[in-house]
Amino acid sequence: MTKARRRERKRKSQTKARKRKASVTLRGSQCRSLRQRDTRYVNSMAQVTATAIPQNNPTPAPRNSIVRRGLDVLTIPALSILTAFIVSGFVIAFTSPEVLKLLPQFWQHPLKLLTTMHETVTTAYAALLQGAFGDWGAIWQGLESWLATGNATDLLRALRDPFESLVGATPYIFTGLAVAVGFKGGLFNIGVEGQLFAGAVASAWVGFSIEGLPWFIHLPLALGAGIAAGAVWAGIAGLLKATRGVNEVINTIMLNYIMFLFTDWLLSDGGPLRGNAGAPRTPEIYPSAYLPRLLPDPVRFHWGFFLAIGAVFFVYWLLWKTTVGFEIRTVGASPTAAKYAGIAVGKVFVMAMGLSGGLAGLAGANELLGLNHYMVAAFSPGYGFDAIALALLGKSNPFGVLAAALLFGALRNGATRMQSIATVPIDIISVMQALIIAFIAAPEIVRWLFRLRTPAQQEHEVFARGWGA
């Protein structure tokens, strides 16, 4: 019995020793887990701070490296546009009736088919460029006629096309900036079209309902009403995102439909904003609320373009030179790290959506006060939806958005001339824009096509949460 009792006591002591060892191992693993979690937080904050605040390096980078980085940034967009033009050329060629008629005879007359394809594509692109940038021969002749006779009719007619490209780019600048601001804050504002309608409705109401004000009060008041309406309409989605965690994509899509139907009701028979004209439209705004034009008819170029350029510089200053912009970019990169750093993430969501909606509302006010001077049901051709592509093409950078908007405005304006001269469907421009975005979104395809090497700094790139970054 004594031996059995000793064996039992030894077994119990060994069991207790194993339990103590397991407990120490568990506590050690828990401590390691906590240390790893804290390390992840610190590293996350370090990455966010490194991307949000430019480091003050006492030794500036060599000039050659700066130029090389700039070329790397511009190479992929430029080659994407070139590739889209090449692919679109084949689409234009193989949708031409003349080419389709010669296609079965390719083996008998290959040179004739290739010549016809070349003539079709060159005619189409020549018409596109002429419609986008104008006929410089006609501009020179109009200038000579104006200097000789004092009659500027021919000169203004020739200048209409290049200035019309700037007019078409203006709403693209505002709406592209609106989407880009949302992207920087980690938000996908797909409701820019509805916010544009909200801004146009508010500007129209202020424009035709208030009489007797001087232009320097009436015009800013109408613009401010458009900004406020767009900001409030987008702020609804931001508030729901911040307080209830509701996805902003679903919210903004639904708010689009609400605003479209609300506008239809406002302009319907018996609607509160319906004018006396037979068509569903508001009364015309008073001239004191017009955005002034720089040149007489038929040139429609107005001061809204310079307002858009000012918005580009304002957004750049706000995002990269202010505390508010730092918070927006930090939340867009990592909401968890931003919250850990003490940033009110919900407030930033509401603020970013409000700023985005205000820019979209300004786009609607610009179109109404500068061009139409009254609100109609089918007000926008889809500027708000095209803005998503603009923000992606411009990498959510205000100056990149400006360049993309100028490109899209030129393409849209040149498409009309291309259709009238080369009988190419205007929808080919939508195909071209889609191809540009596709190649921008897949840069490895462009690098493979042109045998480009991936830059060293992109081989270890860390993708942030922000959309379109």
pLDDT digits (tens, 9 = 90+) for 113-161: 899 999 999 999 999 999 899 888 899 999 999 999 888 888 999 999 8
Compute the Cα dihedral for 274, 280, 282, 283 and give only its sign: negative
Helix ranges (DSSP H) in 53-152: 63-94, 97-102, 110-133, 136-149
Is residue 1 pLDDT above 90, yes or no?
Answer: no
Give the integer Cα–Cα distance in Å for 64 and 328.
32
Is residue 236 pLDDT above 90, yes or no?
Answer: yes
Mean pLDDT within 350-376: 94
Mean pLDDT within 3-7: 70
> 390, 408 in Cβ contact below 8 A?
yes
For residue 183, name the pLDDT band (cuts at 50, 70, 90). Answer: very high
- Position 103 scores a pLDDT of 86
Is residue 331 pLDDT above 50, yes or no?
Answer: yes
Higher per-residue pLDDT: 381 or 277: 381
- Position 201 scores a pLDDT of 95
Higher per-residue pLDDT: 309 or 456: 309
Helix (H) or strand (E) holding 303: none
Q: How far is Cα of residue 328 from the mean position of the Cα atoms in its chain?
A: 17
- Position 188 scores a pLDDT of 93
Higher per-residue pLDDT: 268 or 469: 268
> 361, 202 in Cβ contact below 8 A?
yes
> 129, 158 in Cβ contact below 8 A?
no
Is residue 63 pLDDT above 60, yes or no?
Answer: no
Is residue 45 pLDDT above 60, yes or no?
Answer: no
- Position 171 scores a pLDDT of 95
Q: What is the pLDDT of residues 77-106, one digit of tens each?
A: 888 888 989 999 999 988 888 888 888 888
- Integer CA distances (angstroms), 393 to 91, 183, 251, 313, in order: 22, 12, 24, 18
- Position 32 scores a pLDDT of 55
- Position 55 scores a pLDDT of 47
Mean pLDDT within 281-297: 92
Domains of the chain in start order, with CATH, are 74-459 (1.10.3470)
Angle, nearest 10°, between helix axes 192-209 and 383-393? 130
- Position 306 scores a pLDDT of 96
Is residue 25 pLDDT above 80, yes or no?
Answer: no
- Position 80 scores a pLDDT of 86
Is residue 360 pLDDT above 90, yes or no?
Answer: yes
- Of the listed ranges 3-17, 31-45, 72-86, 299-313, the least confidently predicted one is 31-45
Within 10 angstroms of residue 68's Cβ, the number of other Cβ atoms is 13
3-class secondary structure per residue, 321-372: HCHHHHHHHHHHHCHHHHHHCCCCHHHHHHHHHHHHHHHHHHHHHHHHHHHH
- Position 163 scores a pLDDT of 94
Beta bridge mates, 281: 376
Is residue 33 pLDDT above 80, yes or no?
Answer: no
| Six-digit token string for 122 | 């060159």
Residue type, 290: Y
Question: pTM for the full model?
Answer: 0.82
Q: Is 211 exposed, middle or buried (0-12, 13-18, 19+ CB in 10 A)?
A: exposed
Beta bridge mates, 118: none
Mean residue pLDDT of the chain comes to: 84
- Position 459 scores a pLDDT of 42
- Integer CA distances (angstroms), 224 to 219, 221, 369, in order: 9, 5, 12
- Position 378 scores a pLDDT of 78
Mean pLDDT within 287-291: 94
Give the integer Cα–Cα distance in Å for 188 and 467.
7
SS3 460: coil
Higher per-residue pLDDT: 404 or 2: 404
Mean pLDDT within 249-267: 94
Q: What is the pLDDT of residues 157-181, one digit of tens each?
A: 999 989 999 999 999 999 999 999 9
- Position 447 scores a pLDDT of 86
Higher per-residue pLDDT: 5 or 72: 5
Is residue 304 pLDDT above 60, yes or no?
Answer: yes
CA dihedral 284, 289, 292, 296 (to 10 degrees): 30
Residue type, 160: R
For residue 255, name the pLDDT band (cuts at 50, 70, 90). Answer: very high
Helix ranges (DSSP H) in 185-282: 192-209, 215-244, 248-266
Is residue 46 pLDDT above 80, yes or no?
Answer: no
